[in-house]
Amino acid sequence: MGTGIIGTGVSGLYAAQLGLQTTEHNIANANTPGFTRQRTIQESNPGLLTGAGFLGQGTHVATIERVYSRFLTEQVVGSQSSASELDSYYAQIRQIDNLLADPNAGLSPALQDFFDSVAQLAAKPSDLPSRQAMISTAEALSARYQSLGSQLAQMNDGINGEIKASVADINSYGEQIASLNQQIGLAQVASGQPANDLLDSRDQLILELNRLIRAKTTSNSDGSVNVYIGSGQQLVVGSQAVALATMSSAADPSRVVVALKSAAGNQEMPEKLLKGGALGGLLAFRSESLDRASRDLGRNAASLALTFNAQSALGQDLSGRSLLSPAGFESALFDVSAPAVIANANNPAGSPSVSATFVTPPFSGNFYTDLGNSDYRLTSDGVNATLTRLSDNKQWSGATLALVNNALSADPQGFSLAPAGVLPPAGASYLIQPTRDAARNLSVNRMLAADPGLIPAAGPIRSAAGANNTGVATISAANVGPGYPAAVATLAPLPFSLEYQGGSLQGFPAGAQVAVDGVIVPAPGGIVPYTSGATITIVGSAPPSGVSFSIAGLPNNGDRFSIDLNPAAVADGRNALAFGQLQIQDTMSGKTASFQEAYAQLVSETGSKTRQIQVTGDAQQTILAQAQASRESLSGVNLDEEAANLIRYQQAYQAAAKAMQIGASLFDTILQIAAG
């Protein structure tokens, strides 16, 4: 009986000792990241059959287990992945928001200063300081575009670096998880018991991995896990890690992308598959916000340059030179880079070089551009070339690039492709970026910067009523539009004169096209019915544009009105006034927005997206905190509870020791009786 009492006491003593050690382990790791509270699982030893029934033989510790919930752990992991993605996105987009919306460093102040100087030039076209002021503010404006564009480009370079660092960390976590898989398998096979601390370490690594990218796991029978990213790409399989890599995109070498390493070489992964974590946030920010901001800013810069240059070509400089002059006329105020066309690195051998050029801005009361805020992809199947707008996948096709351009003419995008007669071979692909780099490549024409007198502030044509007119009709200042040199050629030799007779204007050149209020009218014998106040255009190009003027009031028979060149018009600021009108006219997006409106929309959209990401991120942090609290309530270490466990196991230990003492005393008594 003594042996049974002692054996039972020893089992209780050992069980209490393991309980104390487990409790102490919990207390020591109360602040260890990823630690899961452990507990001992006791079971009763099989009873000994006696005449009085089964006699208990004490206890044993069956296992030491983690107080673990896979469901709660996966909630934390998933929430952490989403929270890290939003944090990464917000950290980047708020930089763009601060950059674009800055009241001093943003674009709006520089635009306003530039147009203020344009107004000053229009008021004093012969004043060289006013001309120099316009050049100076134009240079400041182009420098602001360059600065903003360069900072966005630097952000892209920074993201390339962060992608490389993130992929290196992901590979490191994958290798560590694979190593732990092997250690856990060996430990559990050898002991038949869970390797609790190794399991905690692996769970913590999986959580850290999800801070970088969303990863899913599946369990194997040997206790190892497989880790998958994207749409099921393997990162860890048992004790083997599959490495990721970074590479320059085949479509755009300036863009670092994620790839899977394989025996056949690195295989680029579609960005849309890489969601969650800081890496997912970086990729989403780059494709959704950074690229859009770069394109929108570039569209603004290119539209400014193209419309100003188109209007500039309708002017006359301080020396009287214009498009009508044989040489020496500088028609461009700004220089801007052509749309970028990037051939895919995997194009078939011998694929031709493709280029793109901006379309001359259309004219409808004022110049405007049709440039959008998307990139495009040109592909070929060997039969047709297809241009795809990447923002919405709208397509234009043709058997040659010329036919693609024809298709674009019905739905203009602000650029055309060359060489016209070429069809790239099947499988060829080109990325077209019309505006992405336009902002940082904008500059002022160096010829005008060196000589402000070259600014074409005047109009090249003037009008006048005859000095001997007896009626009260007046003629407006003559305006010119695209193609006006062709219209002037039909009027040669100048001056050209019209005479009012019997309700009609006579003297229009034979063969000249005449438009009244934009409608082509027949002019048999050079005679057009007179309508007071109507805009009359000697057409040089369609839609009706050329040399325009209006005659208003009541003329008398024989009254004459002349059109002539405008030499030495140093006090004429009509074209400078047209420059100033570009500030308030719809010059962008197919004549639907002005420069400031388009930029304000970019700032507004960026600000709204920033706020959206911030609010969503705050909400996701709350969800993460709730998931962590739920997990901690089950698996976390409660020091008060562990203190109580210490007392409980101490008392159990003392009780078991007392039982052993009693058993030893009884055994001594038996020995004494036997000796007596």
**Contact yes or no for 652/101 (Cβ under 8 A):** no
pTM recorded for the entire structure: 0.89
Percent of the chain whose pLDDT exceeds 90: 82
Predicted pLDDT at 107: 93
Contacts of 235 (CB under 8 A, 6+ apart): 170, 174, 215, 227, 228, 229, 241, 242, 244
Confidence of residue 186 (pLDDT cuts 50, 70, 90): very high
**Contact yes or no for 572/314 (Cβ under 8 A):** no
Predicted pLDDT at 295: 96
Q: How many CB atoms lie within 10 A of CB 169?
A: 17
Residue 245: is its pLDDT beyond 90?
A: yes
Q: Per the structure block, which two tokens stand in for 13?
A: 């003593």
Residue 637: is its pLDDT beyond 60?
A: yes
**Contact yes or no for 146/440 (Cβ under 8 A):** yes
Predicted pLDDT at 56: 83
SS3 (DSSP) at 194: coil
Residue 3: is its pLDDT beyond 80?
A: no
Q: How many CB atoms lie within 10 A of CB 472?
A: 12
The DSSP 8-state label assigned to residue 241 in this structure reads: E
Q: Per the structure block, which two tokens stand in for 615?
A: 């609010």
CA distance 467 to 495: 14
Predicted pLDDT at 2: 42
Q: What share of the chain is helix, strand, coil (3-state, %, to 5)?
A: 45, 20, 35
Predicted pLDDT at 191: 87
Largest pairwise CA distance in the chain: 164
Kindly report, residue by residue over 134-175, the tens digit of the pLDDT. Answer: 999 999 999 999 999 999 999 999 999 999 999 999 999 999
* 1 or 277, which is more confident: 277
Predicted pLDDT at 405: 96
Predicted pLDDT at 192: 87
Confidence of residue 262 (pLDDT cuts 50, 70, 90): confident
**Contact yes or no for 196/64 (Cβ under 8 A):** yes
Kindly report, residue by residue over 47-68, the tens digit of the pLDDT. Answer: 888 878 888 888 999 999 999 9
The candidate with the shortest Cα–Cα distance to 455, out of 64, 234, 136, 157, is 136
Kindly report, residue by residue over 380-409, the tens digit of the pLDDT. Answer: 999 999 999 999 999 999 999 999 999 999
> Among 49-58, 347-356, 424-433, whose mean pLDDT is lowest?
49-58
Predicted pLDDT at 676: 64
**Contact yes or no for 124/130 (Cβ under 8 A):** yes
The chain-wide mean pLDDT, for the chain, equals 93
Kindly report, residue by residue over 272-330, the tens digit of the pLDDT. Answer: 889 999 999 999 999 999 999 999 999 999 999 999 999 999 999 999 999 998 888 99
Average pLDDT of the segment spanning 531-549: 91
Predicted pLDDT at 608: 95
CA distance 415 to 483: 20
- Kind and range of the H or E run holding 18: helix 2-28
Predicted pLDDT at 517: 92
**What is the CA 625 to chain-centroid distance, rounded?**
29
Kindly report, residue by residue over 453-495, the tens digit of the pLDDT. Answer: 999 999 999 999 999 999 999 999 999 999 899 999 988 888 9
Residue 1: is its pLDDT beyond 50?
A: no
CA distances to 71, 183, 417 from 357, rounded to whole Å, are: 57, 62, 7
Confidence of residue 352 (pLDDT cuts 50, 70, 90): very high
Predicted pLDDT at 49: 82
